[in-house]
Amino acid sequence: MKIKVFDDDPRLITDPNYVKRMGSFGTVAFNMNKALKELGYHAELDEADWVGKCGALDPQFQYKDKKSFYINVWETNNSIPHYLLHNAQGKLIFGLCDKITNIWRKYGFETETIYAGCDTDYWHQTKEKNKNQFVFCHINHSTVRSSLELTIQAFAKVFKNNQDVKLIIKDSSENIPFNNYIKSFDCPNIEHIVGFWDSDQMRDLYSESHVTLNLLRSASFGMPLLECSACDSLCLTGNVSPTNEIVDSSFAAMIEPKGEIPIYPYIEDAEMKFGLKNYYGRFSYPEMPYFWDFDVDVYANKMLEIYNNWSDYQKIDKRSPVVYNWKWENSVKKLINILQNK
């Protein structure tokens, strides 16, 4: 049996360095194909028995007459749009976490979880921690699910005018309304970096940062949680699914959620009030979809507690749990086993 995870981005062919700049869907395809090759189960598209795809909106994916599977990426806590449910009928569906898998099962699909992984040969510490400032970094783009409005509020609440502490926000593209929101806090120790970085630059940022903030309102997996940990940056995240399927409090800092909020009208409010970008569109759902919500004071106090007790947090082995537990090889072995029995 031979397997191929499909990626149709032409830059993989035309740009030899693109592999260091591709997004999460491409990362899944690239690393699964790499592991399939190492295990002897990979073939190119026309020679493969199974061809699959990782994505958000294309469960009807089919390559020629090949047997197909679809790895779903979706980012609400409890519901999947009618669009996906309709187009996925009869398809072999995988979730990138149990949260996603369980939502599909709720609607009658026989779905399995194929977790992503982390290439720890690549993701490792490349630079020393910043010695002049204690650095928090936030690497998720300024989207409605990023909790960036809470990150800025919390940071300013406890560290405004403290030049020994810095928040670096790594964003993908220029966003004037969001820039104005940051400026409204008059907090000079917040640095907002705009532009597309390759993975070498991201690895350096993780390595130099003491803490990586990854308090997402919803996620489909969360590879940055593993990547920053492998680079010896403490991950501060929520004790929510799927985050707590991936990291735990033995090597990450976690806060409890305040509860859940409907994604509508939160999405429109986040666009208007904070300048956060909405990539969710206007899908209809079989039930009200929800995001996680977090308390800004709890978030701020956790940042401050980490800063004040860094000597204790610094001793935590953040890398080993990723090295031992999150290999792409493990993901692919599970995929192979499932497909062999279909």
- Can you read off the two tokens belonging to residue 35? 């592991």
My answer on whether 160 and 94 are in the same domain is no
My answer on whether 174 and 266 are in the same domain is yes
The CATH number given to whatever domain includes residue 253 is: 3.40.50.2000
My answer on whether 25 and 60 are in the same domain is yes
My answer on whether 154 and 243 are in the same domain is yes
Residue 197 lies in a domain: yes
Residue 162 lies in a domain: yes
Q: Identify the three-state secondary structure at position 144.
A: coil
Report the alpha-carbon distance of residue 338 to residue 210 in Å, rounded: 40
Going by C-alpha positions, the residue among 328, 298, 316, 259 that lies closest to residue 118 is 328
Instruction: Concatenate the DSSP letters of all residues of 101-132 into one string.
Output: HHHHHHTT---EE------TTTSS--SPPPSS
Q: What is the pLDDT of residues 120-142, one digit of tens each?
A: 999 999 999 988 899 999 988 89
My answer on whether 182 and 289 are in the same domain is yes
The domain of 144 spans: 134-325
Report the alpha-carbon distance of residue 97 to residue 184 in Å, rounded: 37
My answer on whether 105 and 187 are in the same domain is no
Residue 126 lies in a domain: no
My answer on whether 89 and 218 are in the same domain is no
Residue 122 lies in a domain: no
My answer on whether 31 and 164 are in the same domain is no
My answer on whether 157 and 50 are in the same domain is no
pLDDT at 258 over 90: yes
Question: What DSSP designation does 195 have?
Answer: S
Least reliable range by pLDDT among 152-156, 278-282, 313-317, 320-324: 278-282
- Can you read off the two tokens belonging to residue 118? 């982390």
Domains in the chain, number: 2
- Residue 335 confidence class, pLDDT cut points 50, 70, 90: very high
Query: Whole-prediction pTM value?
Result: 0.94
Report the alpha-carbon distance of residue 182 to residue 200 in Å, rounded: 27
My answer on whether 221 and 294 are in the same domain is yes
My answer on whether 188 and 333 are in the same domain is no
Report the alpha-carbon distance of residue 220 to residue 55 in Å, rounded: 11
